[in-house]
Amino acid sequence: MARNRYDMDEILEDSFDVNQLKRLAGYIAPYKKKMAGVILLMLSSSALTMAIPIFFQNVMDHSIPEKDMKSITFYSIATLLIALYSGISLRIKIKTMSVIGQNIVHDIRYDIFCHLQELPFSYYDDRPHGKIQVRVVNYVNSLSDLLSNGIVNTFTDLCNLIFILMFMFALDVRLTLICLCGLPVLAFVIILIKKKQRRAWQIQSNKQSNLNAYIAESINGIRVTQSFVRENENTGIFNNLSKNYRKSWMRAVMFNFTMGPSVDIISTFTTALIYVLGVRWILAPDMTLTVGVLIAFTAYIGRFWAPINTLAGFYNSLLTAISYLERIFETIDEPVGVRDEPDAIPMPEVAGEVKFSHVSFGYEPGQKILEDINFTAEPGETYAIVGPTGAGKSTIVNLISRFYNVDSGKITIDGIDISKVTLHSLRTQMGIMMQDSFIFAGTIMDNIRYGNRSATDEEVIRAAKTVCAHDFIMEMENGYKTQVNERGSRLSAGQRQLISFARALLADPKILILDEATSSIDTETELLLQKGLNELLKGRTSFIIAHRLSTIKNADCILYVDKGDILERGNHDALMEQKGEYYKLYMSQYDFLK
């Protein structure tokens, strides 16, 4: 997949093979009994309708010449009952298959979403989110028609073809062979466009993905767009992407529309030939063909080419679906870099000792972010991590939570290697506040309770008061029941951070991780918050990343990180006495504030 680019087509890492259709069949398998019942129902309906042309033959050759009104009445009533049964069967089929098709779509989408929940941060770091979203929604939706109608129609129409051919051969072998002459021509057309058609739908899915990625990016960045007056430029980019999508779609459906007209042309030609030869044989002196047989046969011709046309449509849907299945299964097959080991055990209730032993890590092979990191945080201690931007501060805390696996070395909590325990049992004992204070659509109460669904309203309010969020929440129109938009657009950056802070604290963690927790909070609020933090940090092992060094002066140990290594360590007073890198950093902020 293209890396963080909306203008680059995705490249499939694996080519399509028949095993992907087998995987699709695995989703269909739970519904095979209901589908078999629908197929049998439709076959019974088709079998009965096969008799209608025979009724016409008997009426033309016998009932009308013999003026037999009873038989005409009988055939009319029988035809009406068959049509009624066929209509009821079709209604049952549509209703049943619509439910089955949507259930299968749900199952596929559910598997994709569940897998996305397990994929590591690195997967999302490297991909436009719009290109991920289009696979979960659009691509899966594109399978709906194939699953709801295509499969049952294909089985039914294949059986119908066999029934129809049996009746056609029984009526007249010569006319049947003339009708079948069109099939080799149709097969040649299919072979001719097959590869181009599949490739066209792959390109179309690429252009759709690019367009979706840019739309998602534009919506997320709309404030920046309007601030820098980029509306016209962005509209131009969108226009080009939309044109590319339209062009690719038109080319793809052009191949699809080739099938229908091809079937119509071949069927019209063979039907005309049958009429010409049929009339000649009727007018021949030995009259080798009757009018009733010709009328019945022409009725079967329509029934013969109708399923051929449906099968051609199924073939088109299948080739379209294949281009989407490739993307869907590629996502499901994306390896989960961070997952429970087969023999992983639940993490016992932790006391809080965190130890890094010769830990090295890099996001890309050969590019180390951390190199041979060693330190031990005792239970209840507060560790502050400082250093220049890009030094690896956030990487250290991400490794504690095992959002990434270390390249070498070991991280232990209470002497237990965190790679040997289940992720759920590890992370449920941590409270984490990231740099990105993400707010979900819903109430403020729900957002704070996100990490502890069993918390009472009183506990939520207590956490909010601890982080000094209670006052501004109560000033909103509905207090804690106030609805906030996705990403918290109604809230200021500082308010979003305070809510995220309360969310982390409510989890009542043994290990607390605060990544730039106070970066968007004003100085007055920071002073109030610091009082609550001092009480909260007691008895917890805490890791705090902060650029404002005034917030970490009371930390038990401060790690100065740069160039992948811990250059200095100690408490504030000790590091100030050394007059090293920490001292320079602190004094630069002090001078700036003066």
Find the range with the poorest average confidence among 101-110, 398-407, 533-542.
533-542
Whole-angstrom Cα distance, residue 368 to residue 56? 83
Whether residue 14 is predicted with pLDDT greater than 60 in this model: the reply is no
Question: pLDDT band at 200, cuts 50/70/90?
Answer: confident
Residue 563 corresponds to which tokens in the numbers above?
């160039």
Model pLDDT for residues 124-141, shown as the tens digit of each residue = 777 777 888 888 888 888
Q: Please, which residues bridge with residue 511 across strands? A: 430, 541
Q: Name which residue leads in pLDDT, 532 or 274.
A: 274
Residues facing 13 on adjacent strands: none
Task: Provide the pLDDT for residue 4.
Answer: 47
Residue with more model confidence, 314 or 427: 427
Q: Which residues contact 197 (CB under 8 A, 6 or more apart)?
A: 252, 255, 256, 316, 319
Mean pLDDT of the residues in the chain = 82
Angle, helix 173-180 to helix 231-283, in steps of 10 degrees: 160
- What pLDDT was estimated at residue 10? 66
- In whole angstroms, give the CA distance from residue 261 to residue 20: 30
Between 18 and 208, whose confidence is greater? 208
On whether the CB atoms of residues 175 and 168 are closer than 8 A, the answer is yes
| Predicted confidence (pLDDT) per residue in 89-100, tens digit | 888 988 888 888
Query: Would you state the pLDDT for residue 518?
Result: 63
pTM (2 decimals)?
A: 0.69
Q: In this structure, are residues 404 and 121 in contact, taking their beta carbons and an 8 Å threshold? A: yes
Residue 360, pLDDT above cutoff 90: yes
| Cα-to-chain-centroid distance, residue 329 | 10
Q: Where are the domains of the chain?
A: 18-332
Q: Give the relative orientation of helices 151-171 and 173-180 as an angle to the nearest 10 degrees.
A: 140
Write out pLDDT tens, residues 211-239: 888 887 787 777 778 877 888 888 898 89
In this predicted structure, the answer to whether residue 451 has a pLDDT above a threshold of 50 is yes
Collect all residues with Cβ–Cβ distance below 8 Å to 112 and sequence separation of at least 6. Answer: 135, 136, 140, 328, 331, 332
Listed residue (8, 325, 1) closest to 146, CA to CA: 325
Residue written as tokens 């990191």? 373
| DSSP one-letter string for 20-33 | HHHHHHHHHGGGHH
CATH architecture of 18-332: Up-down Bundle (1.20)
**439 confidence band (pLDDT: 50, 70, 90):** confident
Which residue type does 135 have? R
| Tokens coding 460 | 């939520």
* Residues 300, 167: Cα–Cα separation, whole Å: 8
Q: What span, in angstroms and rounded, lies between the C-alpha atoms of 554 and 207?
A: 54
Predicted confidence (pLDDT) at residue 359 exceeds the cutoff of 90: yes
